[in-house]
Amino acid sequence: MRVLSIASTGMMAQQLNVEVISNNIANINTTAFKRGRAEFQDLMYQSERRQGSQSTDAGTIIPTGIEVGLGVRPGAVNRINTTGNLTSTGNELDLAIEGRGYFNIRMPAGETAYSRAGGFKLSPEGTIVTSDGHPVLPEVTVPQGTREIAVNASGEVQAFVDGQTRPRVLGQLVMTVFVNESGLEAMGDNLYRATPASGEPQDGTGGQAGFGTIRQKYLESSNVNVVQEITELISAQRAYEMNAKVVEAGDQMASTLSNMR
């Protein structure tokens, strides 16, 4: 009976759906986290009576035919890249991107990773780094005696140093955009890497055409909506239960057939 295998694909699909939703909820307080959405595709069909074929010698055409689907499979887990709410922190090294763009992060192997989580820190040498100590590119080093750091909307970093009346320009943070942000590969630790699907990285500064702006003393929250996730969780649970009922019904039908004398 095909019903058992068809319903089992539905159960596995909803299991993946619940896993994606649970990851969204788990990261509700993760800085700049982007929620995922599971997407599904129907499987191939078995044709028992092909539409468009002739049913008589007179040329009568079968209008619809009989096609039986074989279930469902996961098609993708799409990352929803809408900007989360910006939360004021008062920390001068907290930077949020309002709009499109990613910060450039240098990894230990020398490759460039990308992140929207702007909760930066200072290394022992005064370099602006991530929470894991990876430098933000281009590297900006804050001199000793700095009493205040200012970052404008374009990403220019300035320092107010003791004994100087005018701010000193330390560097310019670079932002990167991609044609297909959903094609970025998630590395964990709020980092992404470019892939052939994301397209080539395009560098620029805040406020340029196609780039967002930088807000100092703000952090971007996750874009997870709790009410939406709970609603989708309930829907996925009900769909799983209905597929389980189909498996149970198919088992009872098979048992009835086997018990017939």
- Residue-wise pLDDT for 163-172, tens only, equals 888 999 999 9
Please choose, from the candidates 60, 56, 102, the residue with its C-alpha nearest in 3D space to the C-alpha of residue 79.
102
Q: d(Cα 196, Cα 180) in Å, to the nearest integer?
A: 10
Per-residue pLDDT of 53-102, as tens digits, reads 776 667 777 777 677 878 899 999 999 999 999 999 999 999 999 999 99
Q: Which residue has the higher pLDDT, 247 or 218?
A: 218
Given CA atoms 245, 248, 254, 255 in this order, what sign does their dihedral have? negative
Q: d(Cα 96, Cα 212) in Å, to the nearest integer?
A: 10
- Retrieve residue 74's tokens: 């996961």
DSSP state of 181: G
Burial grade of 234 (CB within 10 A; 0-12, 13-18, 19 or more): exposed
What number is the average pLDDT over the span 104-110?
A: 95
Q: d(Cα 138, Cα 173) in Å, to the nearest integer?
A: 6
What percent of the chain lies above the pLDDT cut of 90?
A: 77
Please choose, from the candidates 5, 143, 136, 156, the residue with its C-alpha nearest in 3D space to the C-alpha of residue 69.
5
Q: d(Cα 241, Cα 261) in Å, to the nearest integer?
A: 33
Q: What is the pLDDT of residue 169?
A: 95
Element (H, E) at 121: strand 121-122
Residue reference for tokens 């395009």 = 202
CB 174 within 8 A of CB 136: no
Where residue 108 falls among pLDDT bands split at 50, 70, 90? very high
Residue reference for tokens 């982007």 = 34
Per-residue pLDDT of 180-210, as tens digits, reads 999 999 999 999 999 999 999 999 999 999 9
- Retrieve residue 254's tokens: 């098979």
CB 190 within 8 A of CB 103: no
What number is the average pLDDT over the span 93-115?
A: 96
CA–chain centroid gap for 197, Å, is 14
Given CA atoms 79, 80, 82, 87 in this order, what sign does their dihedral have? negative
pLDDT at 259 over 80: no
CB 14 within 8 A of CB 234: no
How many Cβ atoms sit within 10 Å of the Cβ of residue 44?
A: 10
- Retrieve residue 28's tokens: 């509700």
Q: d(Cα 175, Cα 155) in Å, to the nearest integer?
A: 8
